[in-house]
Amino acid sequence: MTDRIARIMEFLEASPKDNFLRHALALEYVKAEADDKARSLFEAILQDSPDYVGSYYHLARLLERNGERDAAVEWYEKGMAAARLAGDNHSYNELQAAYDDLLY
């Protein structure tokens, strides 16, 4: 376990539902190639807070990298809908570009 993961986990003990911290931890897990842990965290964030738009992209990319194309497509689509609802055009465009790259 890296020092960063350990530090983030310490912060999460005080604020276990902090989406910023959970997202940061999931990204560290991605870097450490602990994909199952990263996926679980991204999914938990999005279950608790479907408006946490940034996690859709990273979850879909993780799934795409692991050969789960259909699941990645589904999460890109959910992310685009959430970004549109939030009025977050930057995230929408990022999700749309990744989605298009995967499908076409």
User: How does pLDDT run across 28-42, given as a tens digit for each residue?
Assistant: 999 999 999 999 999
Cα–Cα distances in Å, from 62 out to 3, 27, 43? 22, 10, 11
Q: How far apart are CA 19 and CA 60, in angstroms?
A: 17
Fold of 3-103: 1.25.40
pLDDT at 2 over 90: no
Matching residue, tokens 């602990």: 34
Tokens representing 48 are 């608790």
Please enumerate in sequence order all residues whose Cβ is within 8 A of that of 95, keeping only pairs 6 or more positions apart, or say none.
56, 57, 60, 76, 79, 80, 83
Q: Which amino acid is at 56?
A: Y
Per-residue pLDDT band for 1 (boundaries 50, 70, 90) equals low
pTM of this structure: 0.93
Domain coordinates of the chain in residue numbers? 3-103
